[in-house]
Chain A
Amino acid sequence: EAQVTQNPRYLITVTGKKLTVTCSQNMNHEYMSWYRQDPGLGLRQIYYSMNVEVTDKGDVPEGYKVSRKEKRNFPLILESPSPNQTSLYFCASSSQGSYNEQFFGPGTRLTVL
């Protein structure tokens, strides 16, 4: 089954404790991206990757890092999480970037205390 998976689905952590949210897709998509969703603000893009070893900033990259060492994986790293990073995070993938439909993961609800 074609899908995008994220782990963990729920995470409660404390300020400053490094964490990684994993994202994996099995559709051989070149393009992957991360979004955060906050009430009243909709979805905002954090980072995207056009292919392996090619990443770039989206609209709200501050406080986040990403890497793309393999085509199927695109982890989101919070080196020193802060309460303003409490949010619902989505990973998405597609062939040909924004030219085609995006396949979204189920989301990761992160709370930073």
Chain B
Amino acid sequence: SQQGEEDPQALSIQEGENATMNCSYKTSINNLQWYRQNSGRGLVHLILIRSNEREKHSGRLRVTLDTSKKSSSLLITASRAADTASYFCATDGGLNSGYSTLTFGKGTMLLVSP
């Protein structure tokens, strides 16, 4: 079952610009996580935001969560060519899930040009 859906599917920007990716989901959650994947490699965890949090920062990353709209956004500020990657949001199954599963969206491909 697909829970999170990222938007846009692809994003192309210049170095120094900000990149914003959005994630929408359908059911209640305990937490939402963002991951990065460089081409064909393993996913790397970026940020986890709990359902009772509204915003979190980590370096150049800012994540917001709006549980009333069932959506989250990932903002990368002052992007660099090294930020070129696919970005995925992942959601758990909410209160009744027993923390057993994490469902990933299809991802946003970000291309940062020098």
B12 interface contact, C-beta 8 A: no
Find chain B residues with CB under 8 A from A42 CB. 2, 88, 104-107
| Residue in contact with A50 in the complex, picked from B33, B35, B43, B100, CB distance below 8 Å | B100
The chain A residue sitting closest to B33, CB to CB, is A101
CA distance A97 to B41 in the complex (A): 22
Q: Which of B63-71, B73-81, B90-98 contacts A (4 or more CB under 8 A)?
A: B90-98
Which DSSP category, helix, strand, loop or mixed, fits chain A's interface? strand
| Interface hits, B46-71 → A, CB 8 Å | 48
Find chain B residues with CB under 8 A from A33 CB. 101-102
Chain B contact-residue range equals 20 to 34
Residue among A33, A41, A97 with most chain B CB within 10 A: A97
Number of A-B contacts (CB under 8 A): 72
User: Which B residue's beta carbon lies closest to that of A96?
Assistant: B99
| Contact A107 to B106, CB < 8 A, known contacts A42-B2, A96-B99, A97-B98 | no
Q: Are A97 and B99 in contact (CB under 8 A)?
A: yes
Give 29 pairs: A residue, B residue, CB < 8 Å, sorted on A: A4-B42, A33-B101, A42-B105, A42-B107, A43-B43, A43-B104, A44-B104, A45-B102, A45-B103, A50-B98, A58-B101, A90-B42, A90-B43, A98-B92, A98-B93, A98-B97, A98-B100, A98-B102, A99-B30, A99-B31, A100-B48, A101-B33, A101-B45, A102-B45, A102-B102, A104-B43, A105-B42, A107-B42, A109-B40
